[in-house]
Amino acid sequence: MTAPAPRANPLLLGHEAAEAMLAEAMRSGRMHHAWLIAGPEGIGKATLAYRFARRLLAGGTPGNDLALPENHPTFRRVAAASHADLLTVEREWDEKRKRMRAGIVVETARRIPPFMQLTPAEGGWRVVVIDGAEQLNNSSANALLKILEEPPPRAVLLLVCSAVGAMLPTIRSRCRRLDLSPLAEETVATLMRRYAPELPEADAERIAMLADGSIGRALDLAGRGAIGYAGLVDEVLANVGALDVARAHAVADALGRDDDAFGIFMELLAAGIAAAVREAARGRADPDQARLIGDRPLSAWVDLWHALRRLQDETEGAYLDKRQAVVSGLRMLATGTAKDR
């Protein structure tokens, strides 16, 4: 129940305007040397970056999209990470500590300038994709500044970023920014049917509702069995006024001590509150969301959302009692306060 890796994914839905903008930049002959492709996690940013990279490497003038057939030699070589004119930079495995590094280290970033300064091996472009550019630390980000200030010809840097605020302003200011929006619910559902055909139609649509416009999140939720807990979250949110101590303990008992169950329940609970607040702020809450919001100010719901996410993070980070954390979270929900009483 996974999508193809971005470098091998031929399918991109929901970002037609961004794709057309990149195609127009190619046609114009005035290609910017660095693009910052930004947006929430799991919406297709890296897929778009590799789609753009493939088209640059393949040459030719595109239409309004950047698609290449899967049997195209450039598509196959990019998918296999074997194209001489493409460099991918991302967090790497730390062999000494047997875990992923915390960020993109300076030694990795230093590969970029000499690569971009080389003459393209196939006479077209040199392309670098930095996947997870927010994970550049200060030293690794500073290693890019000279190449951004004095870019070589026929070289393009594509920075894929889920948290633009974490990047150095000196890097952001030297890139042309392309912001991608969360996917429409219908688009997520369509992709779910493509990537998880074994999932019942009703479950795929429900997961799409819970995914906040992210196909990556949708696939993660489906793979962790979230659909089995969505009904419990619905019941809790529909009966906030009846969340007494006994009911809170009953919900905690239903989740048991399973680590995944706790995380999924808390994520879906926070997501349900966020959706209700968002729609209420736009004046288009459905009846269930309106009943949940009630007379409480939206600011109180926002504080509660932050408190629930903090409770989850602290519980999982410090290995605290998950059952008690569920009870505490439901008490906060029932009382409308961001602190357990």
> How far apart are the C-alpha atoms of 189 and 338, rounded to whole Å?
33
Q: Do domains 6-179 and 224-335 have the same CATH topology?
A: no
- Residue 251 confidence (pLDDT): 93
- Residue 329 confidence (pLDDT): 96
> How far apart are the C-alpha atoms of 189 and 206, rounded to whole Å?
8
> How far apart are the C-alpha atoms of 128 and 152, rounded to whole Å?
13
Instruction: Tell me the β-bridge partners of 179.
Output: 38
224-335 under CATH 1.20.272, yes or no: yes
Tell me the three state secondary structure of residue 39.
coil
> How far apart are the C-alpha atoms of 60 and 63, rounded to whole Å?
10
- Residue 336 confidence (pLDDT): 85
6-179 under CATH 3.20.20.20, yes or no: no
> How far apart are the C-alpha atoms of 205 and 192, rounded to whole Å?
8
> How far apart are the C-alpha atoms of 338 and 114, rounded to whole Å?
52
Whole-model pTM: value is 0.89
Helix (H) or strand (E) holding 179: strand 176-179
Indicate the domain borders of the chain. Answer: 6-179, 224-335
- Residue 257 confidence (pLDDT): 64
Q: Which residues contact 175 (CB under 8 A, 6 or more apart)?
A: 32, 34, 35, 36, 148, 157, 159
Residue by residue, pLDDT tens for the chain (341 residues) are 688 999 999 999 999 999 999 999 998 888 899 999 999 999 999 999 999 999 999 987 777 789 999 999 999 999 999 999 999 999 988 888 888 888 999 999 999 999 999 999 987 899 999 999 999 999 999 999 999 999 999 999 999 999 999 999 999 999 999 999 999 999 999 999 999 999 999 999 999 988 989 999 999 999 998 998 999 999 999 999 889 999 999 999 988 767 789 999 999 999 999 989 999 999 999 999 999 999 999 999 999 999 999 999 999 999 899 999 999 999 999 998 877 65
